Amino acid sequence: MSVIGCYFAYRFYVTDGEIVDAVDSELSAVDGSIVLSTCVIYLVYCAVDMFLCFTCYSSEVKIAYWHHTIYFVLVAYLMRTGRGLLFCFFVLEEFPTFVASIYMLIGDVRPRLTTGVSIFFMRMSFHTYVTYACIDRTNTRLFIFSNIMLMLHINWFRSWFVKRVTLVRDQADNKSDDGKRGLSLEVTTHVYLVAAMLFLQTIMHGALIFAVLSNSLLPKIDWSERNWDLVQVILSIMGHVGCFFVFTIRMVGIIQDVYTEHFIMHSISQKEIIYNISWEDPREEREALGITSDDVILTISSAGCNVLDYLIEGPKAIVACDFNVAQLAMLELKLACIKHLDYDRFFEIWAKSNYKVFQENYKSVLRSTLTDVTRDFWDENEALIRDNIMFAGTSGLAARLLRPGLVWSGIVDYMVKRKLYLPASIGITIFRNFLSNQTLWGWLAPLGGVPKSQLDLVKREPWVWSDRLEEVVGRRMWTADNYFYYAYIAGEWSKDCCPRYMEEKHFASLRKHVDRVTLHHGPIAEAAQLRDDFTLASLLDSMD
């Protein structure tokens, strides 16, 4: 069928689309026989395949029944109206099935790149082009059906893309560090490649719609006449523009779906900081855990804030683990600063992001005390301090992206001046509504390390997110000791608004117990095997 599709696509091209004007009875004997044979064979294929699905592997069938039924009705309708030729133009879209079949015959059922590219060009780009090229030669019913099938094809392309990127990520779990980085780059390449293809698809779709509007619909408008013809033209224009936006949003959603699913693991594999602040409130943890000097604590490193808060209590030992080398490097450097610098320099580096102080002490004092991995990380990432550690990493990037809105609405000014209330204004009202948009958070949340599973919880109960956001913006972020929001809004910590481990009165305790922290690169289950005397475990997210 792909060969037949190629043949008629070529005929369509050389006749500048005029061949579409012919009904089946007006075709040559050869073309008419090909059209009839193709339509009959496809009808038989749909009927036989549905019978086999029902009798042999019904439990494995997902979309075959309704897919074949729709196409059976469509082809029968086209044959009944003498327009079977239209179906033959679109059978070129079966080429991806041909490609996938070849791979399956050789025992390869993976979502191959060739299959995805063929789905894109045949079932999306080619489908869109032929749909609009034939728009003046078909009826509204066929145009609507063609757009429904285009949406289905976009969903198929999304399914392939998600499976493909998931495969690459899963393969990375079984590779060395170099192999992981190589496959991670492949994921990045896939995302860029697909984003470029979807962008070109959107441009082409927009150009085709613009051509239809400017050449066919707009010239028909007579604004002096208020009649049904005018209404029909306006409705047609609205329909075309609506289709464009619906398809564009869905294609952007493809990138967003993969982004939210894989961003965190990709950042880990690239050794990028995700959390520059630990967002779990250590006050709640201290109350729940009741840390004593006899406790051995197992926890997750994150940005190290909670680990250092535990350390003030003087536990017997702390084992902090993390999948992300960058997070461990951040905590190790904090520990080195506590051990080898005085309080003022420690505060200037981590509360004020004073790059001059960091430069004066990193190579001369701190660098030689670090492990090789941490030393390499900070040799390459001094800019994290220079550009403000409060805006470092992916969560810092999210804060930086939101900052213009915070400045515009007056929140930054009020926060820095320590005014403990939120003034009512149009700007703040607009910014609140902007923040409550779940599409926006679908992009920003992964930057803050929120996994897709947690995002899905919000999607199922969106009012929970809206209520919590109202509570935070209206009350919580304005409390005098809420250093979490103050850091991102003011871009620093002050001595009267900072984590407990940044307070001068606790610095001596930190230094006294600094050697009791052990860092481990790996999952928490693996870290749990390092000792047999753990008395407490904090998984951070469980304390949210």
Question: What is the per-residue DSSP string for 192-249?
Answer: HHHHHHHHHHHHHHHHHHHHHIIIIIGGG--TT--SHHHHHHHHHHHHHHHHHHHHHH
Evaluate whether residue 481 is within a structural domain: yes
Evaluate whether residue 10 is within a structural domain: no
CB half-sphere exposure, 457, CA atoms < 13 A: 7
How is residue 266 written in tokens? 């990709």
The CA radius of gyration of the chain, in Å to the nearest whole number, is 31
CB atoms inside a 10 Å sphere around CB 61: 15
Evaluate whether residue 1 is within a structural domain: no
- Whether residues 320 and 372 share a domain: the answer is yes
- Whether residues 65 and 164 share a domain: the answer is yes
- Whether residues 291 and 428 share a domain: the answer is no
Q: Are 282 and 306 in contact (CB under 8 A)?
A: yes
- Whether residues 431 and 335 share a domain: the answer is no
- Whether residues 374 and 398 share a domain: the answer is no
Q: What angle do CA 417, 422, 424 make, to 5 degrees?
A: 125
Pick from 260, 263, 298: which is nearest to 517 by CA?
298
DSSP state of 279: -
Q: Are 503 and 273 in contact (CB under 8 A)?
A: no
| Residue 534 confidence (pLDDT) | 92
| Residue 454 confidence (pLDDT) | 62
Evaluate whether residue 6 is within a structural domain: no
Q: Is the dihedral of CA 385, 388, 393, 395 positive or negative?
A: positive
| Residue 4 confidence (pLDDT) | 86
Q: In this structure, what are the phi and psi dihedrals at residue 277, rounded to the nearest 5 degrees?
A: -140, 140
How is residue 159 written in tokens? 């399914």
Q: In this structure, what are the phi and psi dihedrals at residue 348, rounded to the nearest 5 degrees?
A: -60, -40
Pick from 40, 199, 194, 15: which is nearest to 117 by CA?
194
Write down which residue in 270, 292, 307 finishes a domain. Answer: 270
- Report the domain count for the chain: 3
Which residues neighbour 528 within 8 Å (Cβ) at sequence distance 6 or greater? 298, 534, 537
Q: In this structure, what are the phi and psi dihedrals at residue 14, rounded to the nearest 5 degrees?
A: -70, -25
How is residue 349 written in tokens? 């580096």
Evaluate whether residue 83 is within a structural domain: yes
Q: Are 76 and 35 in contact (CB under 8 A)?
A: no
The pLDDT profile of the chain, 544 residues, written as one tens digit per residue, is 778 888 888 887 787 777 777 777 888 888 889 989 999 998 998 888 888 877 877 666 666 677 788 888 888 988 888 888 888 888 888 888 888 888 888 887 777 888 888 888 888 998 898 888 878 777 788 888 888 888 888 888 888 887 877 776 666 555 555 544 444 556 667 777 888 888 888 899 888 888 887 876 666 666 566 666 677 777 888 888 888 898 888 888 777 766 666 665 555 555 677 888 887 888 888 888 889 999 999 999 988 999 999 999 999 999 999 988 999 999 999 999 999 999 999 999 999 999 999 999 999 999 999 999 999 999 999 988 998 888 877 666 666 777 776 677 666 666 666 655 555 555 556 656 666 666 666 655 555 556 565 666 656 655 555 566 555 655 555 566 778 778 878 888 888 889 999 999 999 999 999 999 999 998 888 999 998 999 998 886 543 4
| Residue 365 confidence (pLDDT) | 93
Q: Which domain holds residue 131?
A: 22-270
Please state, in angstroms and as integers, the Cα–Cα distance from residue 50 to each residue in 64, 148, 418, 534, following that order: 7, 22, 69, 59
Please state, in angstroms and as integers, the Cα–Cα distance from residue 389 to each residue in 162, 228, 403, following that order: 33, 63, 15
CA distance 536 to 460: 33
Q: Are 443 and 459 in contact (CB under 8 A)?
A: no
Evaluate whether residue 8 is within a structural domain: no
Q: Are 175 and 119 in contact (CB under 8 A)?
A: no
- Whether residues 308 and 246 share a domain: the answer is no
Q: Is the pTM of this model over 0.95?
A: no
Q: In this structure, what are the phi and psi dihedrals at residue 374, rounded to the nearest 5 degrees?
A: -65, -40
Pick from 493, 478, 271: which is nearest to 377 by CA?
271
- Whether residues 318 and 462 share a domain: the answer is no
- Whether residues 376 and 419 share a domain: the answer is no
Can you state the percent helix, strand and coil of the chain, rounding each to 5?
A: 75, 5, 20
Q: Are 78 and 87 in contact (CB under 8 A)?
A: yes
How is residue 179 written in tokens? 């192999």
Pick from 85, 84, 126, 91: which is nearest to 2 by CA?
91
Evaluate whether residue 289 is within a structural domain: yes
- Whether residues 407 and 520 share a domain: the answer is no
Q: Are 161 and 261 in contact (CB under 8 A)?
A: no
- Whether residues 303 and 410 share a domain: the answer is no
Return the bridge partners of 321, or none.
300, 520
| b/e 128-148 (16+ beta carbons within 10 angstroms → b) | bebbbbbbeeeeeebbebbbe
DSSP state of 352: T
- Whether residues 399 and 351 share a domain: the answer is no
Q: Are 146 and 162 in contact (CB under 8 A)?
A: no
| Residue 249 confidence (pLDDT) | 85
Write down which residue in 227, 245, 270 finishes a domain. Answer: 270
Write down which residue in 219, 246, 270 finishes a domain. Answer: 270
- Whether residues 214 and 340 share a domain: the answer is no
How is residue 190 written in tokens? 């896939």
CA distance 445 to 274: 11
Pick from 165, 172, 159, 152: which is nearest to 193 by CA?
165
CA distance 318 to 215: 72
Evaluate whether residue 15 is within a structural domain: no
Pick from 134, 152, 185, 144: which is nearest to 66 by CA?
152
CA distance 452 to 334: 30
User: Edge-to-edge strands of the sheet including 296-300?
Assistant: 517-521, 317-322, 296-300, 536-538
CA distance 541 to 544: 5
What does DSSP say about strands 296-300 and 536-538: parallel, antiparallel, or unpaired?
Answer: parallel
